Amino acid sequence: MSDLTAIRRDGEPRANATRDALHRLVPRGHKTYTPTQLVVRRATGCRLEAVDGARLLDFSSGVLVANLGHAHPEFEARYAELTQGAPRNCYNAVSPLEPEAAERLIASLDRPQLERVMWADSGSAGIIKAIWAAQHARPDKRIIIATRAGFHGKKGLAGDVTGETSPNPNVRFISFPTTEVDDISLLPDAESRASELAAPYIAELDALTAEHGNDLLTLVTEPYLGAAGSFHPPKWYLRLLSDWCAENGVVFVLDEVQSCHGRTGEMYAYERYGIEPDIVVLGKGLGNGAPIAATVGRAELLDSMEYGEASDTYSGNPHGCAAVTAALDVYESQPIVANCRAMSQRMQEGLSSLRDEFACVANVRGEGLVWGVEMAAVGDASADEVATAAVLACYHEGVHLLGPLAKKVLRVSPPLVVTADEVDEGIDGMRRALRTIA
């Protein structure tokens, strides 16, 4: 996007005033580009009301953040109850809300090795703390392995393990299934053919062992490649990495910043994939919109840092911790994850029907309620242009999407409380939108 003017849309005077003010005051590098730049006045459940009156269905949960939807009554009531009278900060004092949230989170994770919690104020900070913990616990090891084309954030070490190349000389990338993943996971015998299919990935790991041996420190990966365009690997792939880390004494860090809290149809994706991380990093849905993340892992690793070595101003603040506890209360009292599973199938059927109907839809990939709709070039328009046009067309049909991933993939990820009628309504809106493009 080279245009230096503010985003404006016809017939939206209030939104345009906000967009103009934003453009004047907040550098655009601070925002992620969305062609719609929806300006929301009020949000309830999966419904968004724009400042100029339009009503949209939230098919994105922000960036997979508002898993419980907006203004969830039980969440908001519990959050208000917990935060009433709570201090605004806990840098040089502590609040009972912090160990309470940690205890609840550890119980929810339900793995013996996930026994300590370090809070963070963003997903990337949580990833950084995970790598710091590994580095402090194993000071004699240097090499950080990351799966190629992953996204772990933009800051510091999190940025170093993101993408395909790194400015950090200690980072090595290994392949993550992408091009072949659909075919593999659709094969009825995919799991039984795992060793054959896994051979090239094993060869990459063997090459790392041969080259770096005892110098291998940690491996950072995510359950599925989100930002790269929604590639969901076969289970054997993540199991291979998990087992290899255990056999080679490599700290296995699983980035569940995006997948946590039900998104894949299990509370945590490691349950779905049958893997055992040494450290898991949680964010986004963890606080249902509150800016809090967590690095949870083995005491042996997380206890390796001294006072102050992983602290910062906001991490573990009482309001963030209250959001964690309030969210867990809702997950434990209501069938949020079961609803995700139930709606997943409906969503898959709906999106697949769009793929069958429209030439501009090249592929549909996903699990739980995190789906990617890959767009194809149409005539002279590139897939990138088609995807941007589709996001805008969906907006005009009342469906709010996340702007294209990897330039050509529409992200469909409604709050996990979405109803069957809302799934159908969203698919119908997308169908009307795609008719204007195909």
Cβ contacts of 162 within 8 Å, gap of 6 or more: 146, 150, 151, 152, 153, 154
Task: Report the C-alpha gap between 157 and 126 in whole angstroms.
Answer: 10
Among residues 98, 160, 255, 278, which is the contact residue for ligand PLP, using CB under 6 A? 255
Query: Taking CB under 6 A as the rule, which mask of x and - marks residues 184-223 in contact with ligand PLP?
Result: --------------------------------------x-
CB count within 10 Å of CB 184 equals 17
Rg of the chain in Å (alpha carbons): 22
CB of 157 to ligand PLP, least distance (A): 12
Burial class (CB in 10 A: 0-12, 13-18, 19+), 289: buried
Total number of residues shown for the chain: 438
What DSSP state is assigned to residue 59? S
Q: Which stretch binds ligand PLP (CB under 6 A): 42-50, 81-89, 148-156, 189-197?
A: 148-156
CB of 156 to ligand PLP, least distance (A): 11
Give the nearer residue to ligand PLP in terms of CB position, either 290 or 360. Answer: 290
Q: Does 123 bind ligand PLP (CB under 6 A)?
A: yes
Among residues 153, 285, 372, 429, which is the contact residue for ligand PLP, using CB under 6 A? 153
- Residue nearest ligand PLP, CB atom distance: 123
Q: Does 6 bind ligand PLP (CB under 6 A)?
A: no
Q: Could you identify the residue written with the tokens 């809300």?
A: 97
Query: Taking CB under 6 A as the rule, which mask of x and - marks residues 52-71 in contact with ligand PLP?
Result: -----------x--------
Question: Residues in contact with ligand PLP, total (CB under 6 A)?
Answer: 14
* Position 29, amino acid: G
CB of 120 to ligand PLP, least distance (A): 8
Give the nearer residue to ligand PLP in terms of CB position, either 108 or 258. Answer: 258
Task: Report the C-alpha gap between 217 and 171 in whole angstroms.
Answer: 10
Tokens of 244: 């290899």
Give the nearer residue to ligand PLP in terms of CB position, either 294 or 393. Answer: 294
Q: Which stretch binds ligand PLP (CB under 6 A): 69-77, 117-125, 132-140, 298-306?
A: 117-125
Task: Report the C-alpha gap between 39 and 384 in whole angstroms.
Answer: 24
Q: In the range 277-296, which residues lie near ligand PLP by CB under 6 A?
A: 283
CB of 31 to ligand PLP, least distance (A): 13
Tokens of 237: 């792939």
Task: Report the C-alpha gap between 332 and 310 in whole angstroms.
Answer: 30
CB of 241 to ligand PLP, least distance (A): 15
CB of 267 to ligand PLP, least distance (A): 17
Q: Which of 343, 368, 347 is nearest to 427 (CA)?
A: 347
Among residues 257, 406, 412, 433, which is the contact residue for ligand PLP, using CB under 6 A? 257
CB of 61 to ligand PLP, least distance (A): 12
Give the nearer residue to ligand PLP in terms of CB position, either 237 or 358. Answer: 237
CB of 140 to ligand PLP, least distance (A): 28
118 beta partners: 295
HSE, side-chain direction, 13 A CA sphere, residue 233: 30
CB of 227 to ligand PLP, least distance (A): 6
Q: Which stretch binds ligand PLP (CB under 6 A): 39-47, 74-82, 118-126, 302-310?
A: 118-126
Given 3-state DSSP classes, what are the helix, strand and coil percentages for the chain, each rounded to the nearest 5? 45, 20, 40
Q: Does 129 bind ligand PLP (CB under 6 A)?
A: no
Among residues 59, 79, 151, 273, which is the contact residue for ligand PLP, using CB under 6 A? 151
Strands (E), 226-350: 251-256, 279-282, 293-297
Q: Does 122 bind ligand PLP (CB under 6 A)?
A: yes
21: left (phi over 0), alpha (psi -120 to 50) or beta: alpha
What DSSP state is assigned to residue 406? T
Q: Which of 369, 337, 339 is nearest to 351 (CA)?
A: 369
Give the nearer residue to ligand PLP in terms of CB position, either 320 or 429. Answer: 320
Q: How far apart, in Å, do the first and last CA atoms of the chain sit? A: 24
Q: Under a CB-based contact definition with an 8 Å cutoff, are residues 197 and 170 in contact? A: no
What are the residues binding ligand PLP (CB under 6 A)? 63, 122-124, 127, 151-153, 222, 226, 255, 257-258, 283
